[in-house]
Structure 1
Amino acid sequence: MVDGLIIPPGQGRKFVTRAQEVTFKITGAHARAGSVFEVVVPPGFDVGAHVHSRSEEMFYVLDGELEVLAFEPERRTPDDWRDWRAADGRRPVRAGAGSCMFVPPGCPHAFSNRTESPTRMLFQSAPPPDHERYFEELLEIFDSGGTVDADAVLRLREKYDIDQITPLRYGEPVPAAGS
């Protein structure tokens, strides 16, 4: 007989740093299909546009709002993905509670919290456990004190199949495009 797993609200393995909060809900120790995390995205956080060659991801906004992107732009610019446009005219969009974004391998994607309030999202990544290890190591960098070592973050992202296109940023909220 095989039992399932029920994770009550507020439960799971939680990592809280000055820049991010991540709660591991389902990990590679539990499932072969993927890892599931609850992530609190603080105001001013921008994951930066990036692409994975092997991983696929799903993001579901629980509370708050994110600006999101999941397409190949006509032209990749290295500074800011918020001005990107797809050949068919698509642009980054604001995603509120209930919005879902799926990202297959090879698809550039990004999210940022341009509001003054934290946003909560459910994040699923496959295959496990790469994103679990990545989050653990990234949160250690964020929590090391002082300024974040951008080179350490870049090396970490390369280690875990993350080809960074625009910079990861965090700090004060940045006005949304067109504001």
Structure 2
Amino acid sequence: MNRNSFLKRGILSAAALTSLPALASSGRKEPNKPSSLDPKVVRNDEGKKVNVIGDQQTFKLTSKDTDGQFTLIEETNPPGMMIPPHVHTNEDEVFKVLEGELEITVGEKTTILQAGDLAFAPRNIPHSWKVVGDKDCKTILSIFPAGLEVMFEELGGLPPGPPDFANVSEICSKYGITFLA
């Protein structure tokens, strides 16, 4: 390699290295700014418990806790509990199984998740789930961005007994969720 080529490469490499910090921080919110959020510890038996048409949920972190960034819900349900195919237009969801087995369909793919497995259900992609096997399934549901817990609370306030599906669909549609036939 001649001297000019060596110098050009050296200068270009140095310029690239000096721009890395700017590239690394692009798209992030002021990385050196202190958080305005309060730290929070939620113990195993803590959180707001809501029965959402049979789906037993415990809100661990809500929009208020995360400044709208995400919601974290623990679900513990018996075999046979299921949510039919539906689509979210505003949220992405992550399901992580802690105990038991969860059959989940996202788009065209159906699989059974076991302890430690997770599935990502992006917005605008149909998905559904059902607890399978012979024991309860404990799942952590993460929702991005936060706020869907408001809908879950509204559904949890419906009268006991078999749900009025038209009413459930109407409530869900206010939050950008549509059930599929």
Once the two structures are overlaid, the 10-residue window that deviates more, 39-48 or 98-107, is 39-48
Out of 103, 120, 126, which is 1:102 matched to? 120
Q: 8 Å contact 1:51–1:108 — kept in the other structure?
A: yes
Out of 93, 98, 101, which is 1:65 matched to? 101
* Paired position in structure 2 for 1:27: 62
Q: How does 1:154-165 map to 2 (within 5 A)?
A: 154-165=169-180
Q: Using a 3 Å threshold, how does the CA distance of structure 1 residues 6 and 162 change in structure 2: closer, same or farther?
A: same
Give CA-to-partner distance per residue, 1:126-166, whole Å, 9 cap, x none: 2121x11111112222xx23321111111111111111114
Q: 8 Å contact 1:50–1:164 — kept in the other structure?
A: yes
Letter in 2 for 1:24: F
The ranges of structure 1 where at least 4 consecutive aligned residues each deviate by more than 4 angstroms after the TM superposition are none
Higher helix share: 2
> Separation in 1 of the partners of 2:120 and 2:86?
14
> Separation in 2 of the partners of 1:101 and 1:64?
15
- Following superposition, the deviation at residue 18 of structure 1 comes to 7.6
Q: SS at 1:92's partner residue? A: strand
TM-score by length of 2: 0.73
TM-score by length of 1: 0.74
* Paired position in structure 1 for 2:155: 138
- Which has more radius of gyration? 2
Which runs of 5 or more residues in structure 2 are unaligned? 1-33
Q: SS at 1:8's partner residue? A: coil
- Following superposition, the deviation at residue 41 of structure 1 comes to 2.4
Letter in 2 for 1:136: E
> Separation in 2 of the partners of 1:16 and 1:146?
12
Q: Using a 3 Å threshold, how does the CA distance of structure 1 residues 6 and 21 change in structure 2: closer, same or farther?
A: same
* Paired position in structure 2 for 1:40: 76
> Separation in 2 of the partners of 1:147 and 1:58?
28
> Separation in 2 of the partners of 1:16 and 1:163?
20
Which runs of 5 or more residues in structure 1 are unaligned? 74-90, 167-179
Letter in 2 for 1:127: P
What do you get for the CA RMSD once the two structures are aligned? 1.9
Q: Does 1:54 align with 2:90?
A: yes
Higher strand share: 2
Out of 118, 127, 131, which is 1:113 matched to? 131
* Paired position in structure 1 for 2:44: 9
Q: Return the structure number with greater relative CO, CA threshold 8 A, min gap 6.
A: 1
Matched residues, number = 145
> Separation in 1 of the partners of 2:80 and 2:170?
22
* Paired position in structure 2 for 1:172: none
